[in-house]
Amino acid sequence: MILVLMPLACWLFAAPPGRVRTTVAAVLMALVLFTGATALGLLPFELRLTSLVLGLFLLAAVPLVGLVLAWPVHTGKGGRRRAFAATWTMAYTLLAGGGSAAYGLVLLVSGPPARVPPASALPAMPAGLRVATDRDGGCDRGSVVHCHRELTVAGAPDQDTTRVLDRLRGQLTSSGWPLTHHEEGPWVGCRTHGLLLDAHQVCATLTVTGSTATISLSATDTR
């Protein structure tokens, strides 16, 4: 949180009084709230890393733009203090702005790290079906990071489980999941989930075990 608040503090110390100081401070405060909400997981999963990188980059860049608009900051009463704060602001811009841009480039080239897929990656359940259990399986970490979530789906008490599976398969297929069936095996399909820097592949596996229909969601990171 200190990293997020630092640009605002540096700006308030560096900028001379005036409209530019107030306007840039308001923009920085909005970015602090936006970036803080992202870091706390309050923004949609599909845009979380993109929002975090964007927020950190703008927090670094906006004070520098403000200094250009408010220059010179070193004149008048308190000029020496403002000049010192302006130096810190420019150093922060180079380090934090460059770091967030570099991290964004890494995500763009190699994709985001594997995370447990959210249930929202699936379309809404067909009428008459409901998610009975939703288990976050966490991530198995090793040379390959594998994250997974398991959902069991129930229909009416007298509804055949195979019929439940058929309806789930139809719902996923119509929503863009390219499901394929291996002989005497489960239905499996993978698609891209998330936007921009958050785009990654999530796979869904549909199975019937006894009287239970199960959807397993998984994401893998081989880096």
Instruction: Going from the first residue of the chain to its last (223 residues), give the mean pLDDT of each consecutive group of 10, the final group possibly shorter.
Output: 77 82 91 89 86 90 84 67 79 86 88 86 86 88 84 80 84 88 81 87 85 86 60
| Domain housing 99 | 2-110
pLDDT of residue 51: 92
Residue 83 near residue 74 (C-beta atoms within 8 A)? yes
Q: Are 10 and 103 part of one and the same domain?
A: yes
Peptide bond into 7 cis (omega under 30): no
Model's pTM, two decimal places?
Answer: 0.75
Residues 2, 43, 220, 210: what is their CA dihedral angle, to the nearest 10 degrees? 140
pLDDT of residue 76: 61
Contacts of 10 (CB under 8 A, 6+ apart): 63, 85, 88, 89, 92
What is the C-alpha to C-alpha distance for residues 150 and 214, in angstroms, rounded to an integer? 7
Q: Give the end of a domain, one of 41, 75, 110.
A: 110
Q: Give the end of a domain, one of 42, 75, 110.
A: 110
Total structural domains within the chain: 2
Q: What sign does the CA torsion over 75, 81, 87, 90 have?
A: negative
Q: Are 68 and 105 part of one and the same domain?
A: yes
And the tokens for 15?
């900028």
pLDDT of residue 149: 93
pLDDT of residue 145: 84
Q: Are 129 and 31 part of one and the same domain?
A: no
Contacts of 4 (CB under 8 A, 6+ apart): 32, 35, 36, 39, 56, 59
Angle between helices 19-39 and 48-70 (to 10 degrees): 170
pLDDT of residue 54: 92
Q: Are 128 and 214 part of one and the same domain?
A: yes
Of 81, 93, 218, 66, nearest in space to 150 by CA: 218
Burial (CB count within 10 angstroms: exposed 0-12, middle 13-18, buried 19+), residue 150: middle
What is the C-alpha to C-alpha distance for residues 37 and 44, in angstroms, rounded to an integer? 10
Please list the residues that pair with 153 across neighbouring strands: 131, 213
pLDDT of residue 26: 92
Q: Give the end of a domain, one of 44, 76, 110.
A: 110
Cα 78-82-86 angle, rounded to 5 deg? 170
pLDDT of residue 64: 86
pLDDT of residue 75: 65
pLDDT of residue 10: 80
Instruction: Determine how many CB atoms are found less than 10 A away from the CB of residue 43.
Output: 17
